[in-house]
Amino acid sequence: MQLDRPATGSSPGSPPFGETRTARYGRSADVDTSTVGDRVVLYHRVTGSALVLNPTATWLWQLLTTSRDMEELVAAIRQTYPAVSQDQAGTDVRALIDELLRHQVITTDP
């Protein structure tokens, strides 16, 4: 699962940007979304930045209509994509969460 460009961030085993593992993530109220085919474009009204999500990241974005923690997101990936290992799902979800936090399109609620 990736954005349409490579994500960089914290190491797979560490919480993103100093967040605790129990942090809950949800969509920022400052973000507008637009669907283009099987992708979603996120536009942050305050920063003026735009971000295009690939289909899998778009699917995860849809889950963030309600606040979720990392365990819930990883479990959802595993349930939908059972061939993905727990470690790979955790790494992929963490990378996406890191990128979404960096672009300020999601917020945390510890």
| Residue-wise pLDDT tens digits, 11-62 | 444 444 444 458 999 999 999 999 999 999 999 999 999 999 999 999 999 9
Domain-located, residue 12: no
Domain-located, residue 6: no
Domain-located, residue 5: no
Domain containing 74 equals: 23-109
Quickly count: other Cβ atoms within 10 Å of residue 77's Cβ. Answer: 23
**pTM given for the model:** 0.78
Domain-located, residue 93: yes
At 31, which CATH number? Answer: 3.90.930
Domain-located, residue 42: yes
Query: Please, what sign has the CA dihedral across residues 110, 24, 104, 98?
Result: positive
Domain total in the chain: 1
pLDDT category at 110 given cuts 50, 70, 90 is low
